[in-house]
Structure formats: C-alpha cells, structure tokens
Structure 1
Amino acid sequence: LATLDKYRSRLDQVSTRLTALEFEGGVTLHDVLTVLQRAELVTRMAVEIERYIVELGTEGRLIEMQLEETMVGVASDKAALLHDYLADPEDEAFAGAVDGIARLPHQDLLDFGRLAEISGYDRKVNTLDFPVSPRGYRILGRIPRLPKLVVQNIVRALRGLDEILAATDPELESVDGVGEIRAKDIREGLRRLQEINLVDRYLQT
C-alpha cells in the first residue's frame, strides 16, 4: 500500500499540472500520456493488491478500505481523460482505447509512442511538441452536481474547453439542460477549480 500511495501521489502531481495547462491552453500530447500512463500504473497495482486481499479473507478488510480510499476518482478521471483527448471522439474508439491500454504489456505501457498510437495518433509523433486541446469532459466532470448528460451536451455544443471557458452566459444557458441557474453554477465551479488548482500546485512545490 505504501508503494501504491507513492504512485497515487505522483499521479496527483501530473494530473494537477495537466489541469493547470488545460486552463492556460498549453497542453501537449506528452502531458496527457504522462497522466494516462500513471493512472494505468496505479490501476494495475491496485489489481495486484486486490488479489492479496482475497487471499487474506476477513483479515484483509482494513487493507481493502485503505485501497478503496486511495483509488477514489482514478477510474473516472482516466475515462474523462480519454474522452477529452482521443483523436476519435466516438464511443467505439473509447472502448477500443480502454481495452488496448488494459492489454498492454508493462514494457509497452512505458512507451509513449505505443500509448499515442492507441489514443489514435501517429506512433512516431514527437509528443513533447504536439499540442492538443481538451474537449472539456475532465474539467466539467469535477463541477459538483453537474449531470454527465449535461456535461456531454455542453461539450457537443461548444466543442472544446477553450470555447467553454470563453462562452458567454447566453451561450451556456442555451445548451440543453443548462439554463440560467446552472450556467451560473458552472461559471462559479470553473472559477473555483482554477483557484483549487493554483493552491494544489503551490502545495506541491
């Protein structure tokens, strides 16, 4: 569990950095694949620990509770990351990427070219110099009490996080399922997320 905690801490660090870059509009494919790789490493380690818990039986209950606490948000954040950055936004491509990443041998998981390929990009692309833009699933998914269906509607209507951040109140309100009150909640939620991210980055330095 101590090793898993270290992996999770590293995941949180790179995830916080990605969030800052998303708000600044400076994300590269390398930033995305770093978070994706870390999330998958954490997931695989958790699976290994679950096997030990099964062997321990009732004695493993405390470890199981600690594991559940450590893994909160990992799966949903990884899914949102893929929805944000896969070259092909369709559900079929998402399912294929999830399956492809899960089947990767450990050595290939460390290969960003292979991860880029599974994500729908050229395997030979220079990930450090390849700019990408989030669709908005990951950030919007962190706003409290915002249903997934509404998140989908916003992303489909405004077509990107930059456009969502720049949207006027009438533009947000016109999206199916939003309206005046929810538009204000979204604006406030985005502002708070930026503030929280600044604090998180400060604490990590």
Structure 2
Amino acid sequence: MGDFCDRSLSLDERMECAMRQTAPGTALRRALDMIIAGRLGALICVGDVDAVLAAGDDGFPLNISFTANRLFELSKMDGAIVIDKDLTQIKRANFHLNPDPSLPTSETGMRHRTAARMSILTNAMVISVSERRQVVNVYLDGRSFQIKTVQEIMDMVNQLLVTLQSTRQALDRNLLRLTTLELDNYVTLADISKIFSYFEVLMTAADELDDLIDQLGSEGRTIAMQREQLVGDMDDEYTLMIRDYARDSSEETAREVRRQFHELDAAQLHSFKRVGAMLGYEGLGEDSIMAPLGLRTLSRISVVREGMADKIVDEYGSLQELMDDIEDNPSRLDDIGVKNPGILADSLYRMWGRKE
C-alpha cells in the first residue's frame, strides 16, 4: 500500500497504483461513492503527511483509524482531510490548504485547482470530489484521471471485448494461412504486414482493457479471465513473428520493432514500404517474397522444447532449409538435441496439409 507516494516509480506506475487504491471494492472507493451519493464535495490528501501539513493550517488533529464511514462523515465539514499513505489513519480534518498559487494548473474550479497544486507540491495522492458536478478526480504530480462509475467502465469493457474477439478470430485465420504459405515458401510482405496490423489492434485493445480491469478492482476478475482467453500467448507469438522476418532476429530488435509499430497509426501500418523498412529492408514492395526463420512455427510443435527453436534456426538458417533437409537427413536434428525428430517432421507436414 501507499506506493503511489514512491518517487522512485515512474508517474505511469504511480497512476496505476492510485487507480488500484480507488478501485471498486476498496474502502477508499466505498467512501468516495458515499460522498457522491450524499451529494457532497471533498478534498482528500493521501500520503506525504508532513509535506501536506506544511502546506496548510488549522483543522482538527484526529489520528483515528481510517474507515470508509469516518471519511464520509468528515467530508461533511469544510476543508481537506489528510490520511496517511497506508490508508490506516485519518490524521486531520477540516484542514485549510494553501499551496503556492503560482504552481501551474489548467483546472478551473477552486477545489480542483487546489488538488492539482498540492499534487505538484507534495508526494501525496490528492482526490477532489466536485459537489456541483458530482465527479471525482485523482491527482499525482499535477496529472489527473477521473474516476468512472462501474457501469461506465463496463460499457467500455464490452466494446473492447468485442474488438478483441473479432480481431483474435481474424488473426487466427491469417496465422493458419501464414503457416501454409511459409511451408510453401511463398510469403509476401503484404501477407505479414496485414498480420502485424492485426497484432497491433489486439495488443492495443488488450492494454486498454488492462487499464479498465485495474479501475474495476475486485469487480474485474471475470473480465481478466476473459482477457486471458482472448489474448492468450499472442504476445509471445507477435515477438516470434517479428524475429522470423526482421533482418536482425534478436529479441532486442523485436522489442524495438514492436515499439515502432505501436507508434504507427492504422494507415502507416498498412504502408508496406514502411513496414519493410522497420524490419530492416529498403525498397521492398508488397509482392516481395519474405523468407521466415521458422521460430513461430517451430514453437507451436510439442517436441520443440523451450530454446530449441533457436538452435534449429541457427543450424538450418531458415524454415525452408529445414523442410528441404528434414526428410533426407533427420540425424542432423539428433545432433543438435532434438528428441523424436520424426514427430517434428510429421507435425510440420500436418501443418503443411501434406503427409510425409
């Protein structure tokens, strides 16, 4: 608890911590829901107590155990409520905050302006509940997010689940086709560019869903299971596919290519020339033939243990070289430690839709 106060974390990590602290099912969220239901306003500082108290005056020293009901009752008074970083004690109520008015903020309401400035001045998580608009904003280091109702979050969740389901179905179909094309040695840049765009849609939707799951707190467990069913091992598959087709097949390069893909908009992802350049090739057209290493395909075969796909690729150089040699020289696979090379060959032929 309280790690949103740790400046060693990035701001994004601290925001995620704050989302978890205010998610449905937490005592703090129950208090905030009661404050909204009671049509009250509130200004709440959590953590960095010494710095918060140094930025104000007056108020009532309390040092009482924190509960949702107590926080709700104290919000009926004017002024801020100060809570320790572990959400175990309410330190002060009816506290008058005086942050430096020169601190920059784009907020307009007085309570929100004060909250934004206090979050810049201190390490505290500062929560502002608007009595008039009945919205809750959480501030860290001047940045904020607005707490949504469970129904608002679920509406967004349902839209993302539809996107994930349809994208995963399209991705599965295209990956099956890609495996056949790889074994036929007839993959084009257009083929892989299309699949990379599907991967990006899937991963972006999954990341957005993760944020909503954090916001749902205890209400998000079922959604997390659905997310896992729809995304599964596609994250690893995405990386392996980039390694298959990039000029440099290292994991470091794959991570960098994924980062670059993620920064592209939809139109740029459909630019074959740009995708080819990011993979390390210049001057390729959509019909350019691409030769895969075979990491993705080999990793799907049960007898290929972890790390063995890399050894096979290092030995043969490409999936096509493996297919050309596997029938005539199976002992070569024995030499690099592949157990049951016959099963490996059978599996590849089944993927190809042909019998050995």
TM range (shorter): 0.7 to 0.9
Match of 1:126 among 282, 285, 290: 285
How much has 1:107 moved relative to structure 2? 4.4
Report the Cα distance in structure 1 between the residues aligned to 2:231 and 2:242, rounded to whole angstroms. Answer: 18
Name structure 2 gaps, 5 residues minimum. 1-160
Q: Give the Å deviation of 1:160.
A: 0.7
Q: CA deviation at 1:95?
A: 3.2
The corresponding residue for 2:244 is: 84
Provide closer, same or farther for how the CA distance between residues 16 and 60 of structure 1 changes in structure 2, counting only shifts above 3 A: same
**For the residues of structure 1 that align with 2:280 and 2:209, how far apart are their CA atoms?**
31
Cα distance change on mapping 1:64 and 1:92 into 2, 3 Å = closer
Q: Does 1:170 align with 2:299?
A: no
The 10-residue stretch of structure 1 (162-171 or 89-98) with the greater mean CA deviation from structure 2: 89-98
Q: Which amino acid in the other structure matches residue 16 of structure 1?
A: L
How far the C-alpha of 1:92 sits from its partner, in A, is 4.0
TM-score if structure 2 supplies the norm length? 0.50
Structure 1 stretches lacking a partner, 5+ long = 198-205
1:146 is paired with a residue whose SS is: coil
Distance 2:167 2:254 in 1: 25
SS of the aligned residue for 2:337 comes to: coil
| Aligned partner of 1:17 among 173, 177, 184 | 177
Q: Residue in 2 aligned with 1:136?
A: 294
Matched, 1:117 2:282: no
Name the counterpart of 2:100: none
Higher RCO, 1 or 2 (CA under 8 Å, sep at least 6)? 1
> What amino acid is aligned across from residue 111 of structure 1 in structure 2?
S
Name the amino acid aligned to 2:221. R
Asked if 1:26 corresponds to 2:223, the answer is: no
Displacement after TM superposition at 1:91 (Å): 4.2
Which one of the candidate residues 248, 251, 264 is aligned to 1:104?
A: 264
Q: Secondary structure at the match of 2:225?
A: helix
Give 1:170 deviation, angstroms: 1.9
Residue-pair matches, total: 191
| 1-structure distance, mates of 2:269, 2:225 | 28
Aligned to 1:200: none
Match of 2:225 in 1: 65
- Identical counterparts, % of pairs: 28
Q: In the TM superposition, what is the alpha-carbon distance from 1:85 to its structure 2 partner?
A: 0.4
Answer whether contact 2:194 2:270 (CA < 8 A) is retained: no
Contact 2:193–2:269 (8 Å) recurs in 1: no
Give the counterpart of 2:343 among 167, 177, 185. Answer: 185
Matched letter for residue 163 of structure 1: E
- Per the TM alignment, residue 136 of structure 1 is displaced from its structure 2 partner at its CA by 1.1
Deviation readout 1:6-46 (Å, 9 max, x if unpaired): 11111112111111111111111111111111111110011
Identify the residue that residue 38 of structure 2 maps to in structure 1.
none
Q: CA RMSD in A?
A: 1.9
SS of match in other structure, 1:156:
helix
CA shift digits 1:50-97 (9 cap, x unpaired): 212111111121111111100012111111111110022344432321
How far has the Cα of 1:4 moved from its partner? 1.4
